[in-house]
């Protein structure tokens, strides 16, 4: 056990380091190199609140990626959308001030901020003025009223993969998750998805997020799988968390991935080296349509000379949704933003729900020989299956 855990820890360090390097590289983006978007006579003014000036390392790069992608969308709309950028420094107070300035400047809608506390602060200011906020957060706890979240949520991912698993007869599930706040939110999302899909949660595989905590929890987790005849295990943590440990330890404890299907709540292809973990072979996870993602990444690279960061596409999606409404001469009201047909984004179709959360099209993938194999494509519209 000690040697195996030591090896798993080494793998975790390596994957975490690779993930960190990838994130740093993706966030270190140059200034736009395309011509400025002409906004004379624009139909809508979008206030883009992003964390320029933040003390957090990498936030300026994230802000640049979101702005670049938003300007790509504005260019595609032929100048019907004007984008004005307001730095927030990643702070709630500055986000609130930025929202006030944007509304005074005539903003029809606010796109951003990045994190939930700043988004909440901006939305409180905007609410009094009847302006809606499309935040880049995926925290559903802040959603509602005039605040919508653009980020892919635990709930959306859980619904997609649990429903697919149910259709394949994987209907007895153990949820393996850390006892962190994020881990508890993830567990609740999976449990709710299971109820809706008719899947029975037969065991809880919680663990303290530490080397000792994961190791000491393994007997309880494996007993829960065996004693309750589980045929699927949901691992909520990702590559930068406990996933590499669990992908080694669970099989070593007799939880055979050939008979008990391993499911992932996070993308297992980030970084790509995660796909080589032996315990994940044959496992299932979700991701946006890879073809659409590749097209956006190629276009972004051609325009700006660097790859987009992981969430840059949300900047494009927000502007695309506003532009789609403007093309029909519809203002970005709650009723219009929550239209059932949704919007076309760079990673697939998406729509806002009345509670401020969202639904996004996702494909289900299987890890086959350390490669991504799409086994259930992402739906192309909300009139097809997969949601």
Lowest-pLDDT range of 26-35, 53-62, 181-190: 26-35
Q: Name every residue whose Cβ is closer than 8 Å to that of residue 317 and which is 6 or more positions away in sequence.
A: 73, 150, 343, 345, 346, 347, 350
Q: At residue 215, does pLDDT exceed 80?
A: yes
**Who wins on pLDDT, 22 or 65?**
65
Reported confidence tier of residue 384, pLDDT bands at 50, 70, 90:
confident
- For residue 10, the model assigns a pLDDT of 39
Give one DSSP letter per residue of 86-141, joined into a string: EE-TT-HHHHHHHHHHHHHTT-SEEE--SSHHHHHHHHHHHHTTT-EEEES---GG
Q: What are the CA-CA distances from residue 31 to residues 89, 179, 187, 304, 308 (Å)?
A: 18, 41, 40, 7, 12
CA–CA gap between residue 201 and residue 244 (Å, rounded): 23
User: Which of 157, 156, 137 is CA-nearest to residue 147?
Assistant: 137
Residue 177's pLDDT band (cuts 50, 70, 90): very high
Q: How confident is the model at residue 362 (pLDDT cuts 50, 70, 90)?
A: very high
Is a pLDDT exceeding 70 seen at residue 127? yes
Q: What percent of the chain is modeled with pLDDT above 70?
A: 89
Cβ contacts of 167 within 8 Å, gap of 6 or more: none
Residue 6: predicted pLDDT: 38
Tens of pLDDT, residues 263-290:
999 999 999 999 999 999 999 999 999 9
pLDDT band at 8 (very low <50, low <70, confident <90, very high): very low
pLDDT of residue 36: 35
Dist. CA 189–CA 184, nearest whole Å: 9
Mean pLDDT, the chain, whole residue set: 90
Of the pLDDT bands very low, low, confident and very high (cuts 50, 70, 90), residue 298 is very high
pLDDT for res 223: 96
CA 356 to chain centre: 15
Confidence of residue 63 (pLDDT cuts 50, 70, 90): very high
pLDDT beyond 70 at 327: yes
Look at phi and psi of residue 386 and say left if phi exceeds 0, alpha if psi is from -120 to 50, else beta: left
- Digit-coded pLDDT (tens) for 373-383: 999 999 999 98
Query: For residue range 232-267, what is the model confidence (pLDDT) as tens digits?
Result: 999 999 999 999 999 999 999 999 999 999 999 999
> HSE (CB half, 13 Å, CA atoms) of 337?
29
CB 163 within 8 A of CB 197: yes
d(CA 274, CA 16): 10
- Residue 133 buriedness (CB in 10 A; 0-12 / 13-18 / 19+): buried
Q: Which position has the higher pLDDT, 386 or 345?
A: 345
Calculate mean pLDDT across residues 180-207: 97
The pTM of the full predicted model, rounded to 2 decimals, is: 0.87
The per-residue pLDDT for range 78-123, each reduced to its tens digit, is: 989 999 999 999 999 999 999 999 999 999 999 999 999 999 999 9
The stretch 35-39 carries a mean pLDDT of 37
Higher-pLDDT residue of 279 and 15 is 279
Indicate the length of the chain as a whole number. Answer: 387
């Amino acid at each position: 056990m000690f040697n195996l855990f030591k090896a798993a820890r080494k793998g975790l360090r390596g994957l975490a380091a690779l993930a960190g390097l990838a994130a740093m590289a993706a966030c270190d983006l140059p200034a736009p190199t395309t011509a400025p978007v002409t906004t004379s006579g624009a139909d809508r003014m979008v206030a883009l609140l992003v964390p320029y000036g933040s003390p957090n390392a990498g936030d300026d790069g994230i802000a640049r990626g979101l702005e670049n992608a938003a300007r790509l969308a504005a260019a595609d709309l032929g100048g019907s959308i004007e984008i004005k950028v307001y730095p927030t420094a990643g702070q709630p107070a500055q986000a609130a001030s930025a929202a006030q300035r944007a509304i005074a400047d005539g903003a029809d809608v606010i796109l951003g901020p990045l994190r939930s506390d700043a988004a909440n602060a901006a939305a409180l200011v905007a609410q009094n003025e009847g302006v809606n906020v499309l935040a880049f957060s995926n925290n559903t706890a802040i959603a509602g009223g005039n605040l919508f979240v653009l980020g892919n949520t635990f709930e959306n991912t859980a619904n997609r993969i649990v429903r697919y698993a149910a259709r394949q007869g994987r209907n007895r599930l153990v949820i393996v998750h850390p006892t962190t706040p994020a881990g508890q939110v993830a567990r609740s999302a999976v449990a709710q998805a299971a109820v809706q899909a008719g899947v029975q949660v037969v065991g809880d595989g919680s663990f303290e997020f530490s080397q000792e905590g994961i190791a000491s929890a393994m007997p309880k987790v494996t007993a829960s799988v065996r004693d309750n005849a589980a045929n699927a295990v949901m691992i909520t943590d990702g590559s930068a968390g406990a996933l590499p440990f669990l992908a080694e330890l669970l099989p070593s404890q007799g939880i055979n991935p050939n008979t008990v299907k391993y499911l992932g709540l996070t993308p297992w292809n980030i970084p790509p080296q995660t796909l080589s973990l032996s315990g994940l072979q044959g496992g299932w996870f979700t991701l946006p349509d890879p073809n659409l993602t590749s097209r956006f990444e190629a276009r972004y690279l051609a325009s700006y000379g660097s790859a987009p960061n992981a969430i840059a596409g949300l900047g494009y999606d927000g502007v695309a949704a506003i532009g789609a409404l403007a093309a029909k001469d519809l203002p970005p009201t709650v009723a219009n933003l929550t239209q059932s047909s949704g919007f076309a984004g760079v990673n697939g179709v998406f729509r806002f729900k009345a509670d401020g959360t969202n639904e996004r099209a996702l494909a289900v993938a299987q890890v086959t020989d350390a490669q991504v194999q799409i086994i259930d494509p992402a739906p192309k519209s909300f009139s097809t299956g997969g949601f």
